[in-house]
Amino acid sequence: MNSFFITTPIYYVNARPHLGHAYTTVVADAMARYHKLLGEDVLFLTGTDEHGDKIVQAAEKEGKTPKEFVDGISASFQALWPELHIANDRFVRTTDAHHIATVQAFLQRVYDAGDIYFGEFGGHYCYGCERFYTEKELENGLCPQHLTKPEYISEKNYFFRMSKYLPWLKQYILDNSDFIRPERYRAEVLAMLESGALEDLCISRPKNRLTWGIELPFDSEYVCYVWFDALINYISALGWPDGRDYEKFWPGEHLVAKDILKPHAVFWPAMLKSAGLRLYHHLNVHGYWLVRDTKMSKSLGNVVEPRAMSNIYGTDAFRYFLLREMHFGSDASFSEEALVSRINADLANDLGNLFSRVLSMTAKYFGSRVPRPKDLQTDDTAIAELCAVSMHNFIQLFGNVQFAQGLESLWELVRALNKYVDMQAPWRLAKQGNMERLATVMYVLLTAMRKTALCLWPVMPSASVNMLKQLGQVADQNQAPVVQLEAEVGNLDGLAPGTIVASVSNIFPRIDVKSGDQKKPKGMQQEGQGTQSKRKSSMCEVPVPPKSAKGEVDFAQFTGLDIRVGTVKKAEKHPNADRILRLEVDFGEGVTRQILSGLAEYYTPEALLGKRVCAVLNLAPRKIRGLVSYGMVLTASGDSQFSLLGVDRDVPDGSEIA
Ligand code: MSP
């Protein structure tokens, strides 16, 4: 079985996760899932970069020790990823003992190879970049990244003989045209190598200036330069030098943005070469997300919060937008308007509409069973061919990190399927009693929809699972559908006649731009002839219910609530409050969550053990008599009756209630 190893940068813990971090990690997740779908053995690594000056400064600002500080922010990265349906296999922290030992072993190896020397050095140090700049690299005497004046520092340090490897590296990049991709970044690196500005790399910091780092194995007065330490995460997480995962998964694929091109394209290959290790397969470099064409920054107050976007618009829609909107390699501009218009155009109008129309017609004409097709006509074979071409292109483009183009190719099929419905007009065939032709048309649609849903598993895992289930398929958000994706291309097989499918579908409701409110997808009103007017009149006859005593909330407020299903793992009485029980509930977050609830009058702690409950997770934590509650369990109460809200199917812990 082929193996596939994908990494993201390990993120600095001096800031909370934002749109940029979310993008890279969503892309890595989509790549990991895509390779799983191709039947490969996949390992997906992300993590946090926790050493260096920046961290010390950020911790000081908050009055914390570096360790307390890094633990808090690293946890916030780890907690966010599952919320974005990101399923990384490993999470590496550069403060992990294992990572530290690996960095020291690597340093020793490079030292023993004679590639590290001690020397006096004066250089222009930028605290923002945590690195020295040569005279040539500065722009008008300023750091080219931060546009600030670096400090001139002269001190004795250890150096890595990077310059020794630069001619070899240049030749390697010339010989391997996609080692760094897309091409513009390869050209940038070649220009860097030709400029002569690159020298040996200073890889130590004296402890009198910085202690928050990994001690050099050959000099306890120094710690390791943060970049030399951080890059090694890609192999420390695999158990280098003799871990089985290292054997199996190295070399891998790296995914980074253009800001950290140089360390990945120059330092890291030189380090690997010096230590006698193989180079990674590809460095995949993407552009920057801008917000209304401006750089995201705390001071401008325009930092986009991925959690808020996914809560308001849905995780899958957000992931789709990120992958569809940015052409990998170029910068892209983020705005909620652009997000809403993609959701409405591609997801509600095109994909949601297709599912809604076809499933309701299958219910109406075939009792929600996949009909058996008869002979295919030219229009049907045209769809079959388009389906093959779209899928083929999707697979090729996705594998080539051209996600936007891959999705566009799939949407050519989705739009063609909607047109095919309009042209074939199943409602007319039904009226004419032409059931054979009707069966063929519906079969063509349903099988092509299944293939579309399969391709979308890497992009929108939860929606893909919903679509597949609606088509009577077994599917799991965390387990790649058991198919051979490449074998799915070029046929209309895969959906057995007789399979029972859902009768309604409302996967991507349309978002009303004015109120932020959601309406039914257009497709709900278009499924067949006559239904629209019937629905209208029946809607008018429905009595208007009284207004809720609590007033109205708008849709965004409602979808902003994070309500989930969990299992009670522990229950006991609150030590200081008779009516309150202290629960530890598993919501699939990796740790259980403490929730305090006024249930003691209605349930004994024993009766709650193992119970499935529903709870709001994003209420601000509340302290009750000395203990903190991180959520609220939902209950129904009337007169003297009282009941916990549960679920009537065995959905996994962490399932969202929406
Ligand atoms: N710790 C280093 C990486 C070490 S890897 C061995 C670092 N961390 S970082 O927190 O600054 O993360 C940088 C990465 O975050 C970028 O390369 C990119 O993956 C992501 N992004 C941060 N801001 C971004 C945008 N505005 N747009 C897109 N991605 C960006 O550098």
pLDDT at 555 (0 to 100): 67
DSSP 3-state of 494: coil
**Ligand 1, atom nearest to 296 Cα:** 26
Q: Is 18 among the catalytic positions?
A: yes
Q: How many residues would you count in the chain?
A: 658
What average pLDDT does the chain have?
Answer: 91
Residue tagged active-site, from 36, 99, 126, 273: 126
pLDDT at 566 (0 to 100): 95
pLDDT at 425 (0 to 100): 98
Q: Is 129 among the catalytic positions?
A: yes
9 lines ligand 1 (CB under 6 A): yes
Round to whole Å and give the CA distance between 350 and 522. 9
Please say if the pLDDT value at position 145 is more than 90: no
Residue tagged active-site, from 85, 143, 455, 614: 143
CB atoms within 10 A of CB 314: 25
Q: Is 298 among the catalytic positions?
A: yes
For atom 9 of ligand 1, the residue with the nearest CA is 11
Residues 6+ apart with CB under 8 A from 274: 110, 113, 115, 160, 161, 165
Chain-centroid distance of CA 112 in Å reads 40
Round to whole Å and give the CA distance between 78 and 81. 6
**Ligand 1, atom nearest to 268 Cα:** 6
Q: Is 21 among the catalytic positions?
A: yes
Q: List pLDDT tens digits, range 78-94.
A: 999 999 999 999 999 99
**Ligand 1, atom nearest to 14 Cα:** 10
Q: How far is the CA of 170 from the centre of ligand 1 (A)?
A: 25
Residue tagged active-site, from 298, 419, 431, 536: 298
Q: Distance of CA 199 to CAs 129, 133, 146, 159, 232, Å?
A: 17, 10, 21, 10, 20
Q: List pLDDT tens digits, range 92-137.
A: 999 999 999 999 999 999 999 999 999 988 889 888 887 888 888 8
Residue tagged active-site, from 146, 156, 248, 431: 146
- Confidence (pTM): 0.78
Q: Checking phi first, is residue 368 left (phi over 0); if not, alpha (psi -120 to 50) or beta?
A: left
**Ligand 1, atom nearest to 9 Cα:** 5
Residue 120 DSSP class:
E
Residues above pLDDT 70, as percent of the chain: 94
pLDDT at 558 (0 to 100): 80
Q: How far is the CA of 141 from the centre of ligand 1 (A)?
A: 25
Helix (H) or strand (E) holding 325: helix 315-325
Q: How far is the CA of 467 from the centre of ligand 1 (A)?
A: 33
Round to whole Å and give the CA distance between 648 and 658. 15
Q: Distance of CA 432 to CAs 232, 426, 436, Å?
A: 69, 10, 11
Nearest to 563 by CA among 503, 618, 639: 618
Residue tagged active-site, from 156, 295, 419, 536: 295
Round to whole Å and give the CA distance between 463 and 476. 11
Please say if the pLDDT value at position 432 is more than 80: yes
Given ligand 1 and candidates 7, 8, 11, 54, which is best to mutate, with the most ligand atoms within 8 Å of its CB? 11
Nearest to 455 by CA among 389, 509, 500: 389
Please say if the pLDDT value at position 515 is more than 70: no
| Positive/negative CA dihedral, 587, 21, 251, 177 | positive
240 lines ligand 1 (CB under 6 A): no
Q: Look up residue 36 and give its two tokens.
A: 């799983």
Q: Is 295 among the catalytic positions?
A: yes
